[in-house]
Amino acid sequence: MERQMQDRALRTRELLLRAAAEEFDAAGYAGTGLNKIAKRAGLTVGALYFHFESKEGIARAVMMAQPESIEPHVDTQGLQRIVDITRVWSHQLLKDPLLRAGVRLSVEQGSFGVNDISPYLQWRDVMEQCLCDARDSGELLPGVDPRWVAEFVVSACTGVQLYAQLVNGRKDLPERTVEMWRLLLPGIATPGTLPRIDLSPRRGDKS
């Protein structure tokens, strides 16, 4: 019985998170009210306050939900894994409002007085793990530091999606992500690893 209630609470939280993401994605932080979120979820504002303490609280939860919508869908290892994570991300951003809102809020958080590095550190840790595995398998050039590269890849992806959004609503983000790797890999991967990394079209498209 308690288990059923927990499951229902989790489903309600997920419902609210998705409703909030759809509002934030469309209208940004300032343009989104708790009333609208609750209405979209078909719930009361009271229910919303039961799960999230404030608008900022729900915005933070949306920002932190990014990797969980990507990571489980990638089954490769090492360098190929970091490449694939960014490629799935580049396709999912076009389709998934929860991911898109997370990215938008992370970039615009300064405009609503929040300066929270956690959503980026979360991505950094995911990337760093791939690069440590890559290093342990001998895929990295000597002197390549997994943490620095991870931080750069997170930074570059943030900038690339922002640029692509302004150019054409992110339509060519998957292509830009592949081009990023074409530029980066020669400075990261050993010459033997380089030709084995699969950058072929549609690899990142899990739809």
> What are the beta bridge partners of residue 189?
140
Among 12, 26, 28, 190, binds a copy of itself (CB under 8 A): 28
User: Near a copy of itself by CB under 8 A, which window of 8-16, 36-44, 65-73, 158-166?
Assistant: 158-166
> In whole angstroms, how large is the CA radius of gyration of the chain?
19
> What are the beta bridge partners of residue 140?
189
Residue tagged 């909030």 (tokens)? 20
Pure H helices in 93-172: 97-108, 118-136, 146-168
Among 110, 142, 192, 195, binds a copy of itself (CB under 8 A): 110
Among 15, 184, 190, 203, binds a copy of itself (CB under 8 A): 184
Dihedral of the alpha carbons of 151, 124, 173, 197, in degrees to the nearest 10:
90
What is the spatial distance between Cα 4 and Cα 24, in angstroms, rounded to a whole number? Answer: 30
Restricting to residues 72-101, which ones interact with a copy of itself according to CB under 8 A?
Answer: none
Interface with a copy of itself includes 134 (CB under 8 A)? no
User: Near a copy of itself by CB under 8 A, which window of 5-13, 26-34, 50-58, 74-82?
Assistant: 26-34
Interface with a copy of itself includes 138 (CB under 8 A)? no
Biggest alpha carbon–alpha carbon distance for the chain: 58
* Number of chain positions touching a copy of itself (CB under 8 A): 40
Interface with a copy of itself includes 49 (CB under 8 A)? no
Interface with a copy of itself includes 166 (CB under 8 A)? yes
Interface with a copy of itself includes 190 (CB under 8 A)? no
Smallest distance, Å, CB 106 to a copy of itself?
9
Among 149, 170, 174, 197, binds a copy of itself (CB under 8 A): 149
Residue tagged 């400075």 (tokens)? 187
Smaller CB distance to a copy of itself: residue 176 or 206?
176
Residue 46 half-sphere exposure toward CB, CA atoms < 13 A: 1
Tokens at 171, concatenated: 């339509």
